[in-house]
Amino acid sequence: MRAMHTLPDPMLQRIVDDLAEHGWSQQDVFIPESLTLALATECHERAAAGQLAPAAVGRGEAQEVREGIRGDHIQWLEPGESAACDAYLMLMGHVRLALNRGLFLGLEDYESHFAMYPPGAFYRRHVDRFRDDDRRMVSAVLYLNEGWQPEHGGQLRMYLKGGREHDINPVGGSLVLFLSGEMPHEVLLAHHERLSLTGWFRRRGTDIF
């Protein structure tokens, strides 16, 4: 893995323009294969060490694990855990600044987790913003699957305006972004283990205390 990764300005501009025009963006080659591989390896190591836990639905005290809604296993990222994760967080930091410059979103931070869907797992239709917390503005999913085939299932299905659906295969190195509060989506049944890094750009909360 190279020590430094950067994002070309035209790619950042495409992301900004896509989000402004359509509410979502897909970049087929967001990171080089070497970084995808390093992140996938790290996800496997964390899983083998028992660090991934069944994902919960909801927030705060209302959180509960409901396998009928989502069957993935996750672990939240912290800075300083590995070179590969830090490279990923740095790139997403660049995206955050581009979104703030281009869309005036006032994004303050980025929270993200590894996600592993074992064969047979899915995530039913939902939106990424909580009823009691509207800080999540833009969702970003980076896929870590080498050699993913359409028959492996596990597509991200987005429900676009006008009743159209758009399916995306979770191909390694590709990134999908969408407006968290406006894009209903689901993960279709995966027949193969499916890896990703999923995160949310957040603005400052509006708690009144």
- Interaction site with ligand OGA (CB under 6 A): 115, 123, 128, 141, 156, 170, 185, 187, 196, 198
- For the chain, the maximum distance between any two Cα atoms, rounded to a whole number of angstroms, is 51
DSSP string, 75-92: EE--TTS-HHHHHHHHHH
Decide whether 43 or 187 has the Cβ nearer to ligand OGA. Answer: 187
Strand runs (DSSP E) across 83-192, as ranges? 107-117, 123-126, 136-143, 156-159, 165-168, 175-179, 185-187
* Beta carbons within 8 Å of 193's beta carbon, 6+ residues apart: 116, 117, 118, 119
42 binds, among ligand OGA, Mn ion, none (CB under 5 to 8 A by kind): none
Give least dist CB 118 to Mn ion, A. Answer: 18
Q: Tell me the one-letter amino acid at 39.
A: L
187 binds, among ligand OGA, Mn ion, none (CB under 5 to 8 A by kind): ligand OGA
Give least dist CB 5 to ligand OGA, A. Answer: 22
Give least dist CB 69 to Mn ion, A. Answer: 11
Decide whether 11 or 127 has the Cβ nearer to ligand OGA. Answer: 127
Decide whether 125 or 204 has the Cβ nearer to ligand OGA. Answer: 125
183 binds, among ligand OGA, Mn ion, none (CB under 5 to 8 A by kind): none
135 binds, among Mn ion, ligand OGA, none (CB under 5 to 8 A by kind): none
Decide whether 87 or 122 has the Cβ nearer to ligand OGA. Answer: 122
Rounded-to-integer distance, Cα 122 and Cα 114, Å: 15
DSSP H helices, 24-79, are: 33-48
Do the Cβ atoms of 121 and 71 come closer than 8 Å? yes
